Amino acid sequence: MNYLESLNDKQKEAVLYTEGPLLIVAGAGAGKTKTITHRIIHLIHQGINPEAILAVTFTNKAAKEMRDRVMTLLENPNNGNQIYPVDGIPFVSTFHSLGVRIIKERAHLIGLTKHFAIIDEHDALVIIKDAMKAADIDPKQYEPRKIKSIISKAKGDFITSETYERNAASSLQSIVARIWRDYERTLKKEKALDFDDLLLETVLILKKYPEIKKEYQDRWKYIHIDEYQDTNEVQYELVKLLVGKEENICVVGDTDQNIYSWRGANIKNMLNFEKDYPNAKIIMLEQNYRSTKNIIEAANNVIKKNQYRVDKTLFTDNQKGEVISVYEAYDEVHEGEFVAKEIEKLLQTNDPEDIAVLYRANFQSRVLEESLLSRQIPYQVLGVKFFERKEIKDLLSYIRAAYNRESLSDIKRIINTPSRGIGKVTLLKIFSNQIENLPAGMQLKISLFYKLLDNIKEYASTHTPSESIKYVIKESGLEEQLSNGPSDEQERLENMKELVTLATKYDTLPQEIGLDKLLEDASLASDQDTLMHKGKGVKLMTVHASKGLEFKYVFVTGLEQDLFPHTRNGSKSKEDAEEERRLFYVALTRAEQKLYLSYASMRTIFGSKQINTPSEFIYDIPENLTEFEQGKFGNGEKVVYL
């Protein structure tokens, strides 16, 4: 049983406990994937048929890693593989892949064949837009993406279209219910399901047909669920339905890393595990193998303030390590320069892949990218680079089209952004100078669009570049469309506002030069980005994107109150506040050897300078673990925070 030798006592206890419900509370860097894979191997070693074992996680990457580790352990002759069954392997998949498997096997029960289509987010949005057009619902008043988001969230909460329509209590809900009904009708006609249906329909099948539920319970006798704290209502229901009377379910998770409530993840699923399974055994994996003692102590002090959590305290046998650097910059440009300068020093003895720069909101990447480019430091942005983001391209296209009516690609990009009801056929007639052949109503819409371009050009001729970008955001309708949307749309608006901040650099140039120079630099920056992103480099990403990753050196930037912790529209519930703290905890625990925390005492937001106070999170770290450094301010000013 050599596979047990590399486990610590708590990991071994979790691996050997095979019968009955088991909750493994696994802290950051505590080896949860290793524990799950070794538990699967142990079950097989005990004579359990591999095909009776199910393991479910959230991403394809995580599922592949778990599957590969299981197969590597199975194939290792030191683990006694000669006694393993020769046929069959455990079923390791994502929740959605599990749904596809069950639906394909039972497709006839919901009027499908096993070759049913799965539509992606883009195709789903097209169907929503078509349904709105058929119902004569104004896409400016009811944004299609927002309606799709509401439908998706409802399905994740295990709500069907019939239930939603029955309980609709507002005009918006009535509109959503109507669109949802037509949306489902189209999917049925096309013999298709969307991503959310893959889970919802699976649950409905298992609930409706007890004999089928029993078949799957008999098939998968031992169930493992990874990242249990991130399950939403429908995933939670699916897991409960698959667990047989023996209750051989093992869930692994960490309430301190629940950071996805905005997409339906419910921390209560993990907090209530003992209530769901009264005979559950709980095992804490608190030994961290990733970080230094200083980093772990800092993380423990930060997270212990939260109340909605399973109480635990991480510890490590690693070295004490360096203290945490805390840097106060004058503004975001100085902060970027500090980060780039420190990375330059680190690269003398380290690879770029050992370093990550984290931020709370996507718009922060722009200044950081500039600083790294100025020092020719190779980098990669996880996600979309600033000038390649759709909303930034849209704004720049408005400016270009206003000055150049022959730029058909720019006009094509923005004529229906936000939606104006101008379709592809109409666009072809516009481009072939056949506008007079269109209906009067459509001619008016086109006339208003070109009038908007005239107004932009006229406004820009007498105002600064930053004021002109503000004007486009407002007058185009983009601000109204995005300001009241879900969190991803508000983030797009934040990125637009960052373009206003960038444009202030060009406000001092002569009137006729400023905007041209901004457009030119934006184009060159995109080309340069492409060059910089070939091959390896320092990683730039949001804290959300960093979950599950680890780096020797981590910079956490923008640690200012209202930015990190982040607030939207000035309001924050206790649940939101605790999630922001969990997000900071995730950021800290990505680092192996050294942490750098930074904030700017002044930051330009939407073209205006704002004075900031440091994030409350910084003060949660004991002073003996930190080393404070204040950047040199322009006129030798000193900032005092009360």
Q: Which of 13, 18, 33, 217 is catalytic?
A: 33
CA distances in angstroms from 324 to 15, 286, 386, 561, 594, listed in the order given: 35, 22, 29, 19, 7
Amino acid 633: pLDDT: 61
The residues with which 608 forms a beta bridge, in sequence order, are 605
Q: What whole-number distance in Å separates Cα of residue 121 and Cα of residue 308?
A: 33
Answer for the pair 277, 249: CB distance below 8 angstroms, yes or no: yes
Task: Annotate 427-439 with DSSP letters as a single string.
Answer: HHHHHTT-GGGS-
Active site residue 32: yes
Question: Cis omega (within 30 of 0) on the bond before 418?
Answer: yes
Q: Which of 143, 184, 201, 226 is catalytic?
A: 226
Active site residue 590: yes
List the one residue out of 462, 493, 463, 530 whose CA is nearest residue 390. Answer: 493
CA atoms within 13 A on the CB side of 343: 31
- Write out the two tokens for 5: 């030798």
Active site residue 290: no
Amino acid 84: pLDDT: 45
Stated as kind and residue range, the H or E segment containing 346 is: helix 332-346
Amino acid 79: pLDDT: 59
591-595-600-605 Cα dihedral, nearest 10 degrees: -10
Token pair 């529209």 in the structure block, residue: 569
Q: What whole-number distance in Å separates Cα of residue 278 and Cα of residue 499?
A: 54
DSSP state of 261: G
Token pair 């493992």 in the structure block, residue: 224
List the one residue out of 271, 276, 293, 335 whose CA is nearest residue 578. Answer: 271
Q: Which of 143, 201, 227, 332 is catalytic?
A: 227
Q: What whole-number distance in Å separates Cα of residue 114 and Cα of residue 67?
A: 25
Active site residue 226: yes
- Write out the two tokens for 447: 């006339």
| pLDDT tens readout for residues 560-571 | 999 999 886 555
Q: Which of 11, 229, 257, 292 is catalytic?
A: 257
Q: What whole-number distance in Å separates Cα of residue 495 and Cα of residue 605?
A: 10
* Model pTM above 0.75: yes
Answer for the pair 418, 476: CB distance below 8 angstroms, yes or no: yes
Active site residue 508: no
At residue 300's C-alpha, the angle toward residues 296 and 302, to 5°, is: 120
Long-range contacts: 180-184, Cβ < 8 Å, 24+? 180/151, 182/131, 182/134, 182/135, 183/124, 183/127, 183/128, 183/131, 183/151
- Write out the two tokens for 609: 């300078």
| pLDDT tens readout for residues 211-267 | 999 999 999 999 999 999 999 999 999 999 999 999 999 999 998 998 888 777 788
Q: Which of 10, 11, 32, 580 is catalytic?
A: 32
Residues of the chain with pLDDT under 50: 81-86, 526-534
Q: What is the dihedral sign for C-alpha 336, 339, 343, 344?
A: positive
What b/e string do you get for 63-95 counting C-beta neighbours within 10 Å, with b at 16 or more? bebbbebbeebbeeeebeeeebeeeeebbbbbb
- Write out the two tokens for 130: 């078509």
Q: Which of 69, 366, 547, 590 is catalytic?
A: 590
Question: Cis omega (within 30 of 0) on the bond before 614?
Answer: no
DSSP state of 50: G
Amino acid 550: pLDDT: 93
Active site residue 217: no
